[in-house]
Amino acid sequence: MANSNVRRPYKGVFPVVPTVFDGDGRLDLEGQKRAVDFMIDAGSHGLCILANFSEQFVLTDAERDMVLDTVLNHVAGRVPVIVTTTHFASHICAERSQRAQQAGAAMVMVMPPYHGATIRVGEAAIHQFYRTVSEAISIPIMIQDAPVAGTSLSAGFLARMARELENVCYFKIEVPQAAAKLRELIALGGGAIEGPWDGEEAITLMADLDAGAMGAMTGGGYPDGIRQIVDPYFAGRRDEAAAAYQRWLPLINYENRQCGLAACKALMMEGGVIKHETVRLPLQPLRPAVRTGLIEIASHLGPLVLRWGK
């Protein structure tokens, strides 16, 4: 499996790839490959697979492996691929991470261990969890700091893990007041913080860029639109980036607040990238009026997704 020739530190737009299903909710691997091709053509600097926005929580272990192998073989080193390997059990997360590295992953993304609404562990156990994963691999680990885990990870604790655990060096911050946390993390961690990143569909992207974010992990429907924000920002043209952010914010907001993970699939189906926008039950498809609103907002902006497959 070829690895990407993009060198670290990784930066830019690394959107989440949806897991593509057919009309019956089974894996559509040909559609999966088309989704990947579109996302690369749309300017993604890299990709992330098997994340929450990929519906990783509805996949069997065998299906995870099929998606992993299909995507990494098809990407064939064109861009770096981050693989989400989250699991509550330390050794299973470590084994998943080893499997991802062997398949050609550039990085793994891992949430702190959690289960349901109440099963959590303390800082010492979290530290040991990430140590176990770090010692099993030689590629970077991105800690996903998101509300879904229900786990408080202070900036000081994250910085300490970056200093003490060899491969813990990327951080996707998508909690309330993300920009303030990014600033504190960078100040406390210094050079150990290789990749402070933005998440949550870029809803706080400008504030996070101003705070020092170097990467954006967004939804997969319009990487070309997100590039219009981050490219001028990193080139020192903040006013241009802010203007682009204002243009794209209605779509970013609509995805984040009205549609969630179904937005990407609806946009891809509308543009002929994939044949079905199926989400796996018990997840529900977008209501027709919500879907119409999404397509109307996107149409005014003209992202590549609406014409790529036509």
Among residues 172, 181, 265, 310, the one annotated as catalytic is: 172
Distances (CA, A) of 25 to 21, 59, 68: 5, 11, 18
Helix (H, G, I), strand (E, B) or coil at 109: strand
> 217: which 2 tokens?
């992990």
**Residue-wise DSSP of 6-36:** PPSSP-EE-PBPPPPB-TTS-B-HHHHHHHH
Tell me which residue of 66, 73, 64, 53 sits closest to 93, measured CA to CA: 64
Q: Are strands 107-110 and 81-84 parallel, antiparallel or unpaired?
A: parallel
Distances (CA, A) of 153 to 112, 116, 252: 9, 18, 26
172 is catalytic: yes
| Torsions phi, psi for 63 (to 5 deg) | -65, -40
Question: What angle separates helix 61-75 from helix 29-41, to the nearest 10 degrees?
Answer: 40
Tell me which residue of 156, 153, 194 sits closest to 173, measured CA to CA: 153
Looking at the annotation, which residues are catalytic? 172
